[in-house]
Amino acid sequence: MIRVSTFHLAAALFLGAPLALSAQPGTNTTQWPDGQPGDDFNVTDANGFKQGRWIRVYPDGQLYYSGSFLDSKPVNHFTFFRENGRVLSEVDHLEGSDLAEATLYREDGSPSHRGQYRTVKVDGEWTQLKTGTWKALDKQGRVRIVEHYTENALDGVYQSFHPNGNLLEEGHYHAGKKSGLWKGYDREGTARTEEIWREGERHGEAVVMQDKGVPLSRGNYDNGVPIGEWTLYNPNGKVRSLITYEGGRVASEQPQNGEFEATYPSGRPEWVGRYAHGNLDGPFTSWHDLGEWVMVPAEAGAPAGGPPMPGGGRPGGETPMRQELRNQPMKELGEYTAGVKDGTWRYFDEQGERIRTERWTLGKLTATEE
């Protein structure tokens, strides 16, 4: 009589389907051992321990795994198969050790992962846990990820790589969670991000970099939530704006340098202007909250503004569409100098007709024309 006991493997190998132990008509048995199950293989001793060569099969009789046991502990070489007969993984148990070398395969037969398992008993059953260094490979055999495990949990140095071999990301895990300093890089090897993690959450300073080491943003997290004042930068390194977070949400923004714009809740533009040293400085234009949204082919004209179109912007056909705002009347047109109105300012009604012209000199109104 054949006794059935479960051989637990790591989750990557265990498929979870109920497995039969007898062949069905038409089953390919070319990789089965010679003899009869229960007599020549799939044998348990008087103590109920698995001994020697064992196989398991899927419900349709196709081979799931083939390997050997000693006192129910897996030993020597195991091969695991998919239901279509292709190899899923191979595991070589090292003699005199609890370690096993493993290779996992893709559907096309190319290796996807290589690493080690440690064979241990959990609740009286032998199981295999990832341990040490594991490598993930792409279809060209290039190493894309190197990670370290302790008892199935990520623990230690983590590295991922671009296809050209340059570092993409590096950091540490502790007990399965990101910990300490993490860095990200572009394809050329330039640092792009630096973040501090604690217990799997961003906690501490985080920096996003532009080209040539110029920061794009800099701020702090508290248990995964942005807090306090964050600084955003322009490509030239000048401070663009200061953003204050409260409760993980933006509470205020103080523009500093560069062009800024605001929109109405409708999605229509409200104003656009330039800032320098924290003050409006340069041309300024504002509009009334009016105008008509129309759908036009996405290829025509400039990128659309306004709310996104439901359904991905492809109404009634394959042609990509976008929203375009037309006939929005201007409200104000003028210029600021160091935060005050300067020069000629023009004002318009909702029909677009000019209603007033003002002359300003560094914040002082000097003339008005109706």
Strands 330-337 and 279-287: antiparallel
Cα-Cα end-to-end distance for the chain: 106
Tokens 């560069």 found at: 258
User: How long is the chain?
Assistant: 370
Cα separation, 283 vs 291, whole angstroms: 22
In terms of Cα–Cα distance, which of 95, 93, 78 is closest to 14?
Answer: 78
Instruction: Please give the C-alpha separations between residue 239 and each of 230, 246, 249, in angstroms, as whole numbers.
Output: 11, 21, 21
Burial (CB < 10 A; 0-12, 13-18, 19+), residue 312, is exposed
243-260, pLDDT tens digit by residue?
999 999 999 999 999 999
For CA atoms 268, 273, 274, 277, the dihedral sign is: negative
Instruction: Give per-residue pLDDT as tens, 25-84.
Output: 456 677 788 888 888 899 999 999 999 999 999 998 899 999 999 999 999 999 999 999
Q: Tell how strand 177-185 and strand 191-198 pair up.
A: antiparallel
Q: From residue 120, how far is each of 238, 279, 304 by CA, in Å? A: 57, 67, 60
pTM above 0.95, yes or no: no
Token couple for 29 = 């048995």
> pLDDT tens digits, the chain, 370 residues: what are they?
333 333 333 333 333 344 444 444 456 677 788 888 888 899 999 999 999 999 999 998 899 999 999 999 999 999 999 999 999 999 999 999 999 999 999 999 999 999 999 999 999 999 999 999 999 999 999 999 999 999 999 999 999 999 999 999 999 999 999 999 999 999 999 999 999 999 999 999 999 999 888 999 999 999 999 999 999 999 999 999 999 999 999 999 999 999 999 999 999 999 999 999 999 999 999 999 999 999 999 875 444 444 444 444 444 457 889 999 999 999 999 999 999 999 999 999 999 999 999 999 999 999 999 8
Mean pLDDT of the chain: 89
- Amino acid code (one letter) for 38: G
Q: What percent of the chain has pLDDT over 70?
A: 88
CB-CB contact of 207 with 217 (8 Å): yes
From the list 3, 14, 9, the residue with the least C-alpha distance to 74 is 9
Which domains are delineated in the chain? 43-258 (3.90.930), 259-369 (no CATH)
Quote the CA–CA distance of 34 and 21 in Å, as a whole number: 15
11-14: long-range contacts (C-beta < 8 A, 24 or more apart)? 12/89, 12/104, 12/113, 13/80, 13/88, 13/89, 13/91, 13/104, 13/128
* Residue 19: exposure state from Cβ atoms within 10 A (0-12, 13-18, ≥19): middle
